[in-house]
Structures are given as structure tokens and as C-alpha cells.
Structure 1
Amino acid sequence: MAGRADRSEPSAMDEEEMVEYNHGSTVKKRAKREGEATGPQAEAVAVAEEEDKDMSVERVFDGKPVPPWQQQLTFRAFVVSFFLSIVFSVIVMKLNLTTGIIPSLNVSAGLLGFFFVKVWTVALDKTGLLRQPFTRQENTVIQTCVVASSGIAFSGGFGSYLFAMSQKIADQTQETNAAQNIKNPHLGWMMGFLFVVSFLGLFSLVPLRKIMIIDYKLIYPSGTATAYLINSFHTPEGAKLAKKQVRLLGKFFSFSFLWGFFQWFFTAEDTCGFIKFPTFGLKAFQYRFYFDFSATYVGVGMICPYLVNISVLLGGIISWGIMWPLIEKKKGDWYPASVAATSLHGIQGYRVFIAIAMILGDGLYNFVKVMFRTTIAFAKQVKSKNSTLPVSEDGQKEPTPAMSYDDQRRTQLFLKDQIPQPLAYGGYVAVAIVSIITLPHIFTPLKWYYILLAYVFAPVLAFCNAYGCGLTDWSLASTYGKLAIFIFGAWAGAGHGGVLAGLAACGVMMSIVSTASDLMQDFKTGYLTLASPRSMFVSQVIGTAMGCVISPCVFWLFYKAFPLGTDGSEYPAPFALVYRNMAILGVEGFGSLPKHCLTLCYVFFAAAVLVNFIRDVPGKKIAWFIPIPMAMAIPFYLGPYFAIDMCVGSLILFIWERTDKAKAQALGPAVASGLICGDGIWTLPQSVLALAKVQPPICMKFLSRATNVRVDKFLSPK
């Protein structure tokens, strides 16, 4: 969950399993067929001539012509993409500002894109006005555009580095020279910043698309799984299943939206409503153990793997169930008794910095692991390209395996529409020059030579991240961003706005690395659906441009309508405080930590590394029983209430799979998407009501018996 949780990892595990299952079935069938051959030549012929037709995806679409790349970019596709981008940006923003756990929404984007354009084309077909049928290539364009747009809500740092620059977050920290390290949110500079940093990653790896997709055959599990989904939608049986999924999504979307509306009536104050329901009693409620009836996180729990949800709950139990009550007993010894509960010199300091230690330990371990695997795999790829054909025992060179029909068809079309190299190189240089000139005017401490150095190394880091993501589906964008915080923050220094410089550099690096790996994922999806690389690139550019406008506007709506960034509020934005404190640590050191906090940080940093190492022990399938440190770290600061919601979602899915596994696997993502989308969309009218100063009429609170007696006595007539 680092990276796109930071964002895509929870559901990517499920998608990867599905890809490996399908791929494994194909490999086994081919292996059996090839084993029946009598020699190398017979083996190659057998692979070419006896390929099972039921295993070939492209033979199903043989009768359907592939439209040229210009016709894949339709007006209706971008109209649907625009409205879906708003929906998904709201959802991602809400998740960003609550817990930071963001599941992969690719499936939902592909499914909703299919539904809306299908309704559009069916209506036009009945009137005789339909000129162009709906194709899987157009479906891929919509999914790419929506994911690129909503991805800006994550990589834009609205819940992390960008909001961390604000006065609101700075007031919760202890730092010197705080005034020169503050940049409060404003629509103008946020849009400008995103426009000058978000496009660079798109140009950085375009020249390497053939190497990554065709030569090295990187699987990109999320991109591959999305392609399988879109391909299945456009077969007759797949379309029937898609209709069932959309119908179910619509039902749970309506339920979730109306449930959010119903809950609103009981939230006259921040301490009122179902979100403050003491499910397990008032004592447990004090330590944030309660079910808050959030449809969003029940849906997230249905999408995330069981291990992620259990890890989050375990982290909440260790921290809020054991550690914080014990540390609170040291009040007056380890930290001053008079200090406020939200001060980093008190219990809050332990919560924030131990969480940071676990996040850094997990991030560092996975960074080293992925870089090691990437280096080894890359070296093997290069070596295999330079080597000659294999030689058999009798000294004869063996023939290369014949390409399957699907691979031939996909490779032919993938190489047909070349993206001009001058466009890629020229685009990167042009955007970099604009960025180097512009960014120092937005962030004064961020000098032009910092940005130049970042852009010199950015393509290398983008390649490493995209290659590692293709192998493992694990994006390390946020890890590269954290490295930039420490490097450039320390370079700028405490007396020259180092905190602000570090956070801004984090945004620059994170945007490049994140968008580059996302684009390569989309190229893989396009390769498997026969969508042109040109249409993929244009769709990604348009989606990114949409995101640079939509995401700041959505954040601005949240910023004006709700109290963001406050511990205990509806939108605490936990990672904003975490990122700012990382920047402070990088610039000022560890002097402000409470007593024994640094020792505990070392312990949990080492524990995160050790737990990850145990998870990766070869030859022992114990990873499914070992928790994920990154997931455990999140409730250390926030509390376990959302973990209970997610575990409820897991429980629902678990029971459903026990009763009808096939239906649960086919329809579960649709139910989860409906719950997430409905609750997310309710945020829009809720924000409008808040801006219009319309207050809910009822406050639902829960009191102990003794407190209730005192309240009754106070209110009773004398």
C-alpha cells in the first residue's frame, strides 16, 4: 500500500492472482502440447499449428475491425471520461483525506465506462443515428483517461505533501523558522504547479515502450487484469455479466448515497451522528474502537485482500489497545502532564513518529527489494538479448518458439502507430524548461538547480519504478518522494526554507515517477486490447489535463466546506502531518521528540524491516500469515475505527464466497464499487450544504448512565 498506497496495491494482489491463474492455465496447456512433440522443429510447428482456439482472445474478435487511432478517441468517450473523472476524483480525495488507503479503481472505471457508453450507443442505435459502434479500444481510452485524471488526486499530494505546506498542519508541529515554510492552498498556484509537473512523466518513458512491453514482456498485473476485464465485456457472454454487474452497482450506489443522506440529519456537530456510534462501549470508544457505519470503507474492505484488512486491525490493536494506554500512564514522566493531547511533545508525538518509522522501514525495505529484483531481471534481459540461440545436445541451434496468433496480432498493431521520438524527447525538454523557470516562483526555497538535478535523474528513477511495477505491481512513487524530501530539504537547510523545499521536491519527483509507471500500465492494457499507443498517449495527456483542473477544484471544495487536518475530525488528512514531520526531521534532526520516542522509532523501524524480510523468506509459504507493516502503521495515528469497517467488508465477502464463490468473485467488485461511489458522491451535496451554512437538524450523542443522570438533573425544571 505504499505508493498508490499508497494507491493500487491492495486490489492489485487480487488482480495479480487472477492474471497468474489465467497465465498458469495457458502455460500448462501449452507445456502438455509441447511435450508431445518429437523434436525441436516439431515442437515449434505444434505451437504454431495446434494452438487451441478457445485459448485465443483475438480469434474471438477476428470479425471486428480495429478502428484507426483517431476513431478510438471519440467525443462521447471524453464526455463520459470527464464526468467519471469528477466522480472518481471525489472518491480518491475523500479516501486521501481520511485514511490514505486507496484501492485500485480501474475495474470500476472500466465497468462504468462500458455502461454509460453502451447506454449512449443503444439509444442512438434505436433512433438510427449511431455512426460508430462501441469498441473495446474506446473502452480502454475511457478507462485510461479516468484513471489518469483521478490519479492526480493522489500524486498531487492533496492529502500528503501539498496540504503539509499549509498553516493548518504547521500549527500542529514544533519547528523553527515555520513562517518561511508555509504555503497555504490556493486554486491558482495548485493548478499551475500540477500543470508544470504532471506531464513530464508522460514523456520520460515513451521511447522505451517497445522494450518494456514487447522485448521484456513485463506483465504489469493490474494493467493485464484490466485488459482481460475490458476484453470480456465486449464478448457476448461478457456483456451479459457486465450488465448484471452494473445493475448491482447501481443498487448499492443508490443505497450508499441515501444512507449518507440519512446519516447527515444526525450530525449537527462534529461529535454527533452514526460516525460516533460507540459500538463496543464507551471505554472502547475513547480509544477509537467503534464501527462508524461508513459505506466507503466497507466497500474498500471488500476490494482489499484479507491480509491488508487484518494488518490494519492488528496495527490498531497494538497501538490503541496496548501501547498508547501504557504510554499514557507515563504522563508526567516521559512527557509533561500539562501538554495538550494534540501536541507533538505529548502522546501525539509517539503516535506520529512511530508511524513514520514504520512507513520508512517498510518503504526502505521494499525500495531495496524491488531495485535488487529490477537490476537482476534487467541484467538477465540484456544478457538474453545479446546471447545466441540455444544449442541442443547434438550441437544444432534450436529454433525460437513460434509466436502465438494473439502475440503476432498485438505486436503488429502495437508497433503500427509509432509515437515520434522527437515528440517524446522534445516534450520532456520543453516541459522541463517551463518547470525550471516556473517552480521557483511558486516555491521560493526551491531553487532552479534543485529542479534541474531532479529532472536529470528523474527518467532513470521513472524507468526503475516502471520496470519494478511491471515485475511486482508495486509502485514506489511515494518512496521516491520521501527520498526527495530528505535530500533536497537537507540541501536547502533549516534557515532557507528547507521544509517547504523538501515538500515541493517530493511533489516534483512523485508526479514524474507515478505518471510514468501509470502510463506504462496503460500501454500494457492497450497492447492486450489492441488499442493504439497513440490513442493511449493522447488519452493519458487529456486525462492528466482534466485532473490538473478537477482535482484542485475538488480539494478546494473539501477545504472550504470541512475542517481538514484536525485529529478526530471527519477528514484528519493523516499523511499531511506525517509528511511535514518527515521534512522537519530531514532538516532539523530529532531534537524535538518526546522522551524514549526515538528509541521506540528505532525498534519499530527495525521491526518493519524484519517483518518484511520474514514475509519474503523463500521456500516457505508464510507470507499470507505475516502482517504488512505499511498497513499496520496507518492506525497508529488514526485509530482502528476504519479497520473495523474494512473487516466488516471482508467478513461480508468471506461469507458470500462460502455460500457462492463464483457469484462473489464476479459480482463482489461491483457491490464494493457501488458502496464506495455512492458514499463518495454524497460528499458533493454535503459540501454544498456546508458552504451554504445549512446545518443538520439533529445531534445524536451517546452518554454514560452517570452523565445522562447529571444532564437530566440540569435540564429538569426546578
Structure 2
Amino acid sequence: MNTSNHEELEEIQNCDNDDIENAELEEPEGQSGFGSHLLGLNRKTYEQVGVDTPGNTPITKEPGIGWMTAFLFVTYFVGLAILVPLRKLMIIDYKLSYPSGTATAVLINGFHAPKGDEMAKFYFDFSMTYVGAGMICSHLVNLSLLFGAVLSWGIMWPLIRGLKGQWFPESLPESSMKSLNGYRVFISIALILGDGLYNFAKILLFTATNIHATMERRSKKSHNQGPDDLKRNQVFVRESIPMWLALSGYILLAAISIIAIPFIFPEVKWYYVVVAYILAPTLSFCNAYGAGLTDMNMAYNYGKVALFVLSALGGKRHGVVAGLVGCGVIKSLVSTSSDLMQDFKTGHLTFTSPRSMLVGQAIGTAIGCVVAPLTFFLFYKAFDVGNPDGEYKAPYAIIYRNMAILGVEGFSALPHHCLHLCCGFFAFSVAANLVRDFNPKNIGRWIPLPMAMAVPFVVGGYFAIDMCVGSLIVYAWHILKTKEATLMLPAIASGLICGDGLWILPSSILALFKVRPPICMRFLERA
């Protein structure tokens, strides 16, 4: 699970910018939901949303170490088995970059490199994660991110904001799902699902109709690979995980979860959990595919899909609880499967057995399922979490409960023309993939990736600029010194990413003791 206590802490603190949830808290770590969907079940959040609010049922559940630990165990472990059969397709056939996994592999390989240690030295700052990711991702991915940022934050959101009072009520804050945030979330979901479902359907069709031709084509391609790549692929395939083991493991763990979750939450019927596990494989593939391209784990977005679906299925009586729990189930599954693919990428580059990576991830997941609730309760008992006038306001608990209420009321409660825009962007996502597949050498090479475009719609455009800076560094360095760039760029990018990750622990300690940065920089408009 790799849950980051630092990100959980920020999630329950007051956040002035709604994008923090998407950019910081909901990335590969911090998916437990202690500051969002699980905390949204307690009575304090129910009262803050409004006792008389339509759809806000009085059913609540206070946080507890026991049920939270059990919930994490029965949900996170299912995600370890869900995409194991597709690991070869994602890592070897699609050659997805998985920048975080690649950075970890480069760092590990650097410890054991027989030569080139002096050239691999690099002094890096602790706040350059996205620049490093941009140096690993392709130019097309980075430019697609920038295009999505310009289209959304430069054109669409200002235009929609100007229609306040016509398309949505002026009295609502922009963070409301019935306001501007509704457009942000649902349009990004439409783009992501369009791209992910297209590729998922293409893989099923391709596998069913062209198995023999595919094997011949892969055999021919293997002759053009370097010796290191061939050896990596051989190790990765040789130490395989049997298909029957992955499928039976998923079915067994899902069955345990289907039985256990209704015991933890009596309002959640067993068939709601079945629906969640039917959605899980497709959503997990979409997220892992997107993470391989952009290094952004969008599990929170897929959790919102389940939240709305299960809230609608649960009806007015149990819809809120069913939606919040379903959100947690899908977020856990989708996040864990994406993290496992990152680990498989690391294992592929370091000649490590996939079986060892799977066992290591399982051990880490078990530790996280125990440590994460205990860490949360340190803050929950020591501070007044959820108090709107306190330090730990936990704003996302209210947001997620409101989203569940919205799902109970139906999609007709969304702002005007939101569904029309979603259908349009879903169609664009499918059309863009069709053009890229049928005309890859001419028009297709200039078509942006819908999956990458969708990320800035919710997160914001700032990180797209950072990643394009990384892409510009790669482009310029290859023009000036191609050979040096080939050797140095992976080390530099890995240093930028890993350096920021290593800073999380001291940053968490400083945040715990309320130590503030000595310098605060702010840019103001000229008078």
C-alpha cells in the first residue's frame, strides 16, 4: 500500500486549494481515505453537511482501529492479484515507462554499477519530482499534458466560470460538485474512461483474433533488441506468476471481501460489493495504463466513478454509505494494482523476479494496513479532526459525503450541460485513439493522448509545465551531447524523483511538530 503518513496528515488539514487533494494527497500514496471517504461516514461530517439536506441520511459510523484495519486488509490485497496476468503486456509489449518505477530501478542499479559511478553523480533539489518525471516520459505525453492544461484552465474553466448564475447557482462554492468542480471531475473521468476502455477493448479483440500473428511479430521484434533488454525480458517471463494463481487469488480474496464488508457496514449489501468487483478489473487497467504513461495515479477519480454508481444503486436510505464504502473499495484496488505495476517495472529493469516483487508488495501492504490506521488515530485522538474552526478541518470528508448525496439524487442534479460535455469528450477520446491506430505515421503522430490530457483537468496545469521543462532538457541535451545525455539523463531524473520522495519522512516529522518553513514567497499583481 505504501501509505504516506505525510499525505494523510495534509488530507485532514485545512486546504485552501481544492487541487491539493488531486495533486498531492491522491497520488500513489495516501489512498486509505482517512481524511476523505471513510471520515465522511462519521457523525460530525453528517452534521456539517446539514441534517436537513435532502439525501443526507442519518446513518453514520465513527472511526475505529479495528474495522478500519479489517477494511484495509480485505480491500487492498485484492488489488495485488487483479492485473498480474497483464504484467507482461504492460511492461514488455506496451513498454510503458512508469517513471517512478524506472527511477527506483536506476537508483538501485546505480548502487551496483561496475562503472560509470563518477558520471552518474548529480546534486539535486528536493522539489523537482515533476521535472524528473518529464525527463522520463515521452515528449508526446508531456505535450499532451500541456495541451490539456491550456484547454481546461486556459479556456474552458474561465468560460464556464463566466456562466455562473446560468449554468450553476452563484451561491455555490466552486468546490461543489454542482458547481465548477462538477465539470472538472466528470469531464476528466469521461476522457480517462474513453481512452482506457478503448485500449481495454482493443486488447481483448487483439488477443482473441490475432494470438498467433502477435506471437510471430513479437518473435521478430526480439531480434532487434539489445542483449540487456533480451535478458531482462527473459528473467521477467521466466519467473512468471501462473495465470490460474492470479485469477483464483482474485476470486478468493474478492469472495472474502464480499462476505466481510457487509459485516463491517451492514448498510452495504453483498451485491453492491459484487458490482464494485465487476468494475474493478477495467478501472484498474485504465489507471495502470495511465500511470505508465504519466506517472499519475488517478485512483481517486475511479473511486468517484464507483461512488456515484453505488450511491445510485443504494437508493435514498443506504446510498450515501454504499457510495462512500464503494469509493474506498475501488480506490484501494485501483491504487494497489497500479503500485504493483510500478514495482514490476522496477523489477524488470533490475533483473528481479516478479514473484519476489509480488511477495514484497504483499508484505508492505500488510504492514501498511496495520500502521496506517494507528497513525491516523494519533491525530484523531490528539486533535479535533473535522472541526471547521480547528487546525484539522478535513474538508474532503464533507466533499465526498456531498458527492455521495449527489449520486443518491441522480445525475440530473449536475450543473447544466455537464453530461453533454462529458459525452463529447468521451467521443473525442475514442476518436483520437482511432486516428492514432489507423493513421499513426501522418495525422496520428500529432494527436494528443486523451489519458494524459485528462490529468490537468482536475489536478491543474502547474505540473504540466514542470514536466515540459523536463522534456525540454532532454531535447536540448540530446541535440548538444547525445552520448552524454543517454548516460546521464536517467540518473538525473531518478535523483530528482527519489530526492523528493526521501524528503517525505523529515517533512512529516516537521509537520507533526508544527514547524513552518522559514521563508514564504508570494507573488502579487502589480497595483
Deviation of residue 242 (structure 1)? 5.7
Q: In the alignment, does 2:219 pair up with 1:219?
A: no
Q: For residue 494 of structure 1, what is the aligned residue in structure 2?
A: 316
Q: CA–CA distance in 2 between the matches of 1:311 and 1:542?
A: 37
Map of 1:588-607 to 2, 5 A cutoff? 588-607=409-428
Q: For residue 359 of structure 1, what is the aligned residue in structure 2?
A: 188
TM-score normalised to structure 2 length: 0.69
Q: Is the 8 A contact 1:90 1:680 kept in 2?
A: no
Q: What is the DSSP-based 3-state SS (H/G/I as helix, E as strand, rest coil) of the residue aligned with 1:239?
A: coil
| % same residue | 41
Q: What is the DSSP-based 3-state SS (H/G/I as helix, E as strand, rest coil) of the residue aligned with 2:192?
A: helix
Distance 1:335 1:610, change over 3 A: same
Q: Is the 8 A contact 2:307 2:404 kept in 1?
A: yes
Q: CA–CA distance in 2 between the matches of 1:412 and 1:598?
A: 47
Map of 1:62-81 to 2, 5 A cutoff? none
Q: Which among 317, 322, 334 is matched to residue 150 of structure 2?
A: 317
Q: For residue 240 of structure 1, what is the aligned residue in structure 2?
A: 115
Q: CA–CA distance in 2 between the matches of 1:630 and 1:410?
A: 27
Map of 1:112-261 to 2, 5 A cutoff? 153=29, 156=32, 176-180=54-58, 189-203=67-81, 219=93, 221-222=95-96, 238-241=113-116, 244-245=119-120, 247-248=121-122, 251-252=123-124, 255-256=125-126
Q: What is the DSSP-based 3-state SS (H/G/I as helix, E as strand, rest coil) of the residue aligned with 1:450?
A: helix
Q: What is the DSSP-based 3-state SS (H/G/I as helix, E as strand, rest coil) of the residue aligned with 1:446?
A: coil
Deviation of residue 604 (structure 1)? 4.2
Distance 1:584 1:676, change over 3 A: farther
1:192 alignment partner AA: A
Q: For residue 20 of structure 2, what is the aligned residue in structure 1?
A: 98
Deviations 1:294-351 (A, max 9, x none): 53333343333333433333334334433444444444555555x254463xxx8453
2:145 alignment partner AA: V
Q: CA–CA distance in 1 between the matches of 2:317 and 2:467?
A: 44
Deviation of residue 665 (structure 1)? 3.7
1:643 alignment partner AA: A
Distance 1:375 1:681, change over 3 A: closer
Q: Is the 8 A contact 2:284 2:338 kept in 1?
A: no
Is 518-527 or 692-701 further displaced after alignment?
Answer: 518-527
Q: Is the 8 A contact 1:162 1:503 kept in 2?
A: yes
Deviations 1:344-368 (A, max 9, x none): 3xxx845322223322322332243
TM-score normalised to structure 1 length: 0.53
Q: Is the 8 A contact 1:165 1:184 kept in 2?
A: yes
Distance 1:609 1:94, change over 3 A: farther
Distance 1:434 1:236, change over 3 A: closer
Deviation of residue 381 (structure 1)? 5.9
Q: CA–CA distance in 2 between the matches of 1:181 and 1:318?
A: 41
Which of the pair has the greater relative contact order for Cα pairs under 8 Å at 6+ separation? Answer: 2
Q: For residue 297 of structure 1, what is the aligned residue in structure 2?
A: 130
Map of 1:523-672 to 2, 5 A cutoff? 531-532=352-353, 534-549=355-370, 583-672=404-493
Deviation of residue 555 (structure 1)? 7.1
Distance 1:89 1:647, change over 3 A: farther
In the alignment, structure 1 segments of 5+ residues that lack a partner are: 1-81, 103-149, 257-293, 390-400, 707-718
Q: Is the 8 A contact 2:45 2:398 kept in 1?
A: no
Q: CA–CA distance in 1 between the matches of 2:299 and 2:320?
A: 20
Q: CA–CA distance in 2 between the matches of 1:318 and 1:520?
A: 30
Deviation of residue 196 (structure 1)? 1.4
Q: For residue 513 of structure 2, what is the aligned residue in structure 1?
A: 692
1:360 alignment partner AA: I
Q: For residue 46 of structure 1, what is the aligned residue in structure 2?
A: none
Q: CA–CA distance in 2 between the matches of 1:189 and 1:463?
A: 26
Q: Which among 273, 279, 288 is matched to residue 451 of structure 1?
A: 273
Q: CA–CA distance in 2 between the matches of 1:361 and 1:418?
A: 33
Q: CA–CA distance in 1 between the matches of 2:97 and 2:523?
A: 47
Larger radius of gyration: 1
Distance 1:299 1:499, change over 3 A: farther
1:688 alignment partner AA: I
In the alignment, structure 2 segments of 5+ residues that lack a partner are: 12-17, 217-221
Q: What is the DSSP-based 3-state SS (H/G/I as helix, E as strand, rest coil) of the residue aligned with 1:221?
A: coil
Is 532-541 or 167-176 further displaced after alignment?
Answer: 167-176
1:221 alignment partner AA: K
Q: Is the 8 A contact 1:155 1:510 kept in 2?
A: yes
How large is the RMSD of aligned CA atoms in angstroms? 5.7
Q: Is the 8 A contact 2:144 2:448 kept in 1?
A: yes
